[in-house]
Amino acid sequence: MVTHRHDGRTVMHLGRPATWEDLERVPAGMIGEVIHGELVMKPRPAMPHASASSILGVLLGGPFRLGVGGPGGWVILDEPYIRFGEDVREPDLAGWRRERWVGIPRRGPIPVMPDWICEVLSCSTEAEDRTVKMPLYARAKVGHLWLLDPDPATLEVYRLEAQGWLLVSSHARPGPVRAEPFDAVELDLTPLWEDAGVPETPAEE
């Protein structure tokens, strides 16, 4: 049985728990996840969402994955499949400190919890990102979470504390930022907003 939800998602009720093989058969142009045993599919994001995610990966990849102009020591992936208990989720970006990147299978979802996740917000995803995924990532003990909104060009940086997520910084303008856990390097987010189609904030007189 197939259920089409108002948020554009399609839920495939397979009569059994969904598997990795089901995810591999998700059509091109769709994102698939396993949620409570069901195969849930949604359209891939629109251009501002996809562009913001891709550019952020580029900005972080040089200094933190490759060690070019930064400390290195990270594995950063776009849209990785990650196993959260019985669920398999696909965040927009995720990063692992390299010393924890061990025992990773060549095929199938990643069983090691990330040290950092970034979700790019949109009208169709923000409610789930804030009310479902933030608690899920906290229970999984993901150390840092970024919520990136291409429109109106904002970045929220959260650190996991014993009491839950703590908002440690927020950024609302193009330009350089230092944001945990990548605060060893100043990142200029201006190209990210420009490529996402967000106009630069006029300079104050």
pLDDT digits (tens, 9 = 90+) for 110-168: 999 999 999 999 888 899 999 999 999 999 999 999 999 988 889 999 999 999 999 99
The CATH number that applies at residue 117 is 3.90.1570.10
Number of neighbours of residue 176 by Cβ within 10 angstroms: 12
* Same-domain pairing of 123 and 111: yes
**pLDDT score for 202:** 44
* Same-domain pairing of 121 and 163: yes
* Three-class HEC string of 6-47: CCCCEEECCCCCCCHHHHHCCCCCEEEEEECCEEEEEECCCH
pLDDT digits (tens, 9 = 90+) for 9-53: 789 888 999 999 999 999 988 999 999 999 999 988 787 788 889
Inter-residue contact 115 to 160 (CB < 8 Å): no
Q: How many CA atoms lie within 13 A of 151 on its CB side?
A: 13
* Same-domain pairing of 111 and 25: no
- Number of residues assigned to the chain: 205
* Same-domain pairing of 89 and 176: yes
**60 lies in which domain range?**
46-195
Inter-residue contact 113 to 141 (CB < 8 Å): yes
Cα 150 to Cα 98: distance, rounded to the nearest angstrom: 29
**pLDDT score for 4:** 64
Whether 136 is covered by a domain: the verdict is yes
Kindly tell me if the per-residue pLDDT of 59 is higher than 50: yes
Q: How many CA atoms lie within 13 A of 190 on its CB side?
A: 7
* Same-domain pairing of 16 and 105: no
Cα 127 to Cα 141: distance, rounded to the nearest angstrom: 21
pLDDT digits (tens, 9 = 90+) for 108-126: 999 999 999 999 998 888 9
Q: For the chain, how many structural domains are there in total?
A: 2
* Residue closest to 120 by CA, chosen among 56, 169, 67: 56
* Same-domain pairing of 66 and 111: yes
